[in-house]
Amino acid sequence: MPFPTFFIHPPKSGGSTVISFFDLNEVKDQFAVFAWDREGGWGSYRDKLLTTGIGGGHHPCGMHRIIKQPARYCTILRDPLARQISHYWYAASGKNGDVMRDVHVSASQALVQQGTLSLDEWVGESLDGKNLFVQMLSGHSDLNETRLEVAQSHLRQHIVTVGVRENMSEFLLRLAGMSGLKLPFYFEANKTAGSPKGGCHLSEAARQKFLEDNSLDYELFRDAKRMIERQVDESGRIFSNALELVQIIQAEIDQLENPHIHSSWVSGFDETFLSKVTSVVRRFGLAPIDEYLQLTQKAGKPLPPTCSTASSTRSTTAWWRAGPSISAGPSKACRSKSVWVQRSSRAAGAASSAPTWLTRDTQARTLAFQFLCLPAFRTVFESQSPTRPRACTTQESGGKAGIAPEHQGNSQ
């Protein structure tokens, strides 16, 4: 039985669109969306992943230790500044309206929707995560050159397929070759509604500060693009012929009226629309695509299934014995009382005019506090700026650090 495929889903990098690829290839809702369940833990998601063979979520490299099973990792990246800006407008839209359906938000996202947090503040402070790609692909939230090297090592050795949002068809064709799926097609999902078309009015000062603060992410992003280019060049004409046909068919799919372009996969994809997409595909002969997929799967290179949290040469048969690299559950309540203090007080002051989703559960800051205490999704923000929201540290929460809850929203 092949190892399950786990999709590391960085927010606002095209991940919801990638999930549409999995739904087109499998029975509807077979993708196991990992989220912590306070009652059942990871159990139900692990069971679904091992049954269907496909799953993922806004989680770092290292989830194989949670599921206690080797996994084939894949991920998609995007220009870090473009991703950060996209998430700002996504928050401003109330996560494409999902906030009104009780989808959780962080305090900073709530302030964006209220209009009290500017794009310059969001980008200049990297409020959607500093060097998020390095955090997710290394499995560490403490950032330095060593963590970048770990992320680069995982990218080369353990993440079987990586793509960039701008070349979705190319990525999905290679992902189909790795995963054994047959249809390298997609439809856009969860694209931010209402984002400005003619520029985002970002100041040069905020832009430069973001570029400086996220230099590790840019180095990793450039490294990934170079690696992809080498792989494509080595694939030769069989790959280029298959990709040409994929792009022709994808152009036809893009002409369909898409009900999911501004909605997430939270409620699942419409079966009627999935049928329309597959009917478009069936109008074409897929011989060049099949030839590439058969060749790739026949070649069947070894699949190193694990992401370590440090350089390691342990055998894959003992990959989990050292214990989990990220926490399998919530830690004790954080003892810090300074979480989201300054900006959250502003939100509290606006409570009388805030929508019901913001006032529920003692304001959004309380909800954000609860999620920050989940050690598998926590980022320690290092800035000393009084306006930057602060997460509980590892010492305060008694757990191991991971990815911040702000990156757990149901964003693309």
- Residues 318, 331: Cα–Cα separation, whole Å: 26
Amino acid 44: pLDDT: 85
When comparing pLDDT for 344 and 269, which is higher?
A: 269
When comparing pLDDT for 5 and 103, which is higher?
A: 5
Is the pLDDT at 72 greater than 90? The verdict is yes
Sign of CA dihedral 268, 272, 273, 277: positive
C-alpha triplet 47, 49, 52: angle, nearest 5°: 105
Amino acid 176: pLDDT: 95
Q: Which of 86-90, 98-102, 148-152 has the highest mean pLDDT?
A: 148-152
Amino acid 308: pLDDT: 55
Amino acid 208: pLDDT: 97
Amino acid 75: pLDDT: 98
Where are any strands of DSSP class E within 48-95? 54-57, 72-77
Is the pLDDT at 370 greater than 90? The verdict is no
Please count the helices (runs of H) and the strands (runs of E) in the chain.
17, 5
Amino acid 122: pLDDT: 96
- Residue 88, in any domain of the structure: no
When comparing pLDDT for 30 and 409, which is higher?
A: 30
pLDDT averaged over the chain? 75
Is the pLDDT at 323 greater than 50? The verdict is no
Is the pLDDT at 375 greater than 50? The verdict is no
Q: Determine the average pLDDT of the residues in 11-19.
A: 94
When comparing pLDDT for 315 and 29, which is higher?
A: 29
Tell me which of 29-43, 124-138, 373-387 is least confident: 373-387
Q: Confidence class of residue 267 from pLDDT cuts 50, 70 and 90?
A: low
| Rounded percentage of the chain residues whose pLDDT exceeds 90 | 49
- Residues 98, 190: Cα–Cα separation, whole Å: 10
Q: Determine the average pLDDT of the residues in 37-56.
A: 85
What is the extent of the structural domain holding 60?
5-80+137-206+213-306+313-318
- Residues 393, 236: Cα–Cα separation, whole Å: 48
Q: Determine the average pLDDT of the residues in 302-326.
A: 39
Q: Which amino acid is at 140?
A: H
Q: Determine the average pLDDT of the residues in 250-258.
A: 96
Contacts of 149 (CB under 8 A, 6+ apart): none
Q: Confidence class of residue 356 from pLDDT cuts 50, 70 and 90?
A: very low
Q: Is 173 exposed, middle or buried (0-12, 13-18, 19+ CB in 10 A)?
A: buried
Is the pLDDT at 408 greater than 70? The verdict is no
Is the pLDDT at 337 greater than 50? The verdict is no
- Residue 276, in any domain of the structure: yes
- Residue 21, in any domain of the structure: yes
Cα 203 from chain centre = 27
The total of structural domains in the chain comes to: 1
- Residue 260, in any domain of the structure: yes
Question: Residue for token digits 């006032």?
Answer: 359
Q: What is the pLDDT of residues 271-290, one digit of tens each?
A: 899 999 999 999 999 999 99
When comparing pLDDT for 46 and 247, which is higher?
A: 247
Amino acid 34: pLDDT: 87
- Residue 195, in any domain of the structure: yes
When comparing pLDDT for 13 and 365, which is higher?
A: 13
- Residue 337, in any domain of the structure: no
- Residues 151, 61: Cα–Cα separation, whole Å: 9
Give the C-alpha distances (Å, rounded to integers) separating 405 from 31, 178, 303, 372, 400.
21, 30, 30, 6, 14
- Residue 323, in any domain of the structure: no
Q: What is the pLDDT of residues 162-192, one digit of tens each?
A: 999 999 999 999 999 999 999 999 999 888 7
Q: Are 150 and 140 a contacting pair, CB within 8 Å? A: yes
Question: Residue for token digits 């597959």?
Answer: 278
Q: Confidence class of residue 199 from pLDDT cuts 50, 70 and 90?
A: low
Q: Confidence class of residue 265 from pLDDT cuts 50, 70 and 90?
A: low
Contacts of 315 (CB under 8 A, 6+ apart): none
Give the C-alpha distances (Å, rounded to integers) separating 296 from 69, 165, 226, 247, 248.
24, 22, 21, 19, 21
Concatenated DSSP letters for 146-198? HHHHHHHHHHHHTEEEEEEGGGHHHHHHHHHHHHT-S-------SPPTT--SS
- Residues 200, 197: Cα–Cα separation, whole Å: 8
Is the pLDDT at 240 greater than 50? The verdict is yes
Question: Residue for token digits 């170079």?
Answer: 226
Tell me which of 126-135, 237-246, 338-347, 352-361 is least confident: 352-361
- Residue 354, in any domain of the structure: no
Amino acid 99: pLDDT: 60
Is the pLDDT at 295 greater than 70? The verdict is yes
Q: Are 47 and 26 a contacting pair, CB within 8 Å? A: no
Is the pLDDT at 63 greater than 70? The verdict is yes
Q: Confidence class of residue 300 from pLDDT cuts 50, 70 and 90?
A: low
